[in-house]
Amino acid sequence: MADADATIGWDNRDFKRGAREATKTLNKFEGGFSKSFKSIGKLAGPALAVGGIAKWGSAIFEGTLRLEELTVSLKTVSDGTESLDDQLTALRKTARLPGLGFEEAIEGSVRLQAAGLSAQQSREAIEQFGNALASAGKGKADLDGVILALTQIAAKGKISAEEINQIAERVPQIRAVMKEAFGTAVAEDIQKLGVSAEEFISKTIDALG
């Protein structure tokens, strides 16, 4: 199981090949950088100053590069149970959650899959914890914290009070959810039951749902 804090790497040839594939895939979903830029140019009209157009173009370009990087990362960590296209289609639906964007959905999936979760488990974790956070009036930054705690649980292979507290700070209802799923909200008691990290994450996601 990968270390949650490990950096995903690939050699230049793999990166270039992956980047080309990622660009093709993103063009399918986003319509391509050129098309987007032309569309914005039509909307902007002649009233926009040259400097304003340059800023728009720069933002689009940086956003496109970021999406390419995330898509290559997603392809790298995927276990092959779902195609890249299928994952991106599903993550676009996940991104409809309040306060969550397409980039954030991909990044969250990359982090969780790198820690050992499947593509589907990663999506379900983002969706269920995202909904729980939204109902508690929390946002994107809190979801980042929850994903970090989940990746730490997955990477360590055990449930500890430290990660549970990290999640509880952001998702107040998590202890009630744990009691429903395991009969207790105490990390040590859950460990004594022989619950694995994978089982803990899976059952917690189901209970949230």
pLDDT along the chain (209 residues), means of 10: 43 51 56 46 49 53 70 88 92 87 92 93 94 87 93 91 94 93 93 92 91
CA 60 – CA 44 distance, rounded (Å): 14
Query: What does the pLDDT read at residue 100?
Result: 84
How many CA atoms are closer than 13 Å to the CA of 182, on its beta-carbon side? 27
Query: What does the pLDDT read at residue 12?
Result: 47
Indicate the helix (H) or strand (E) that contains 42: helix 33-44
CA 111 – CA 121 distance, rounded (Å): 12
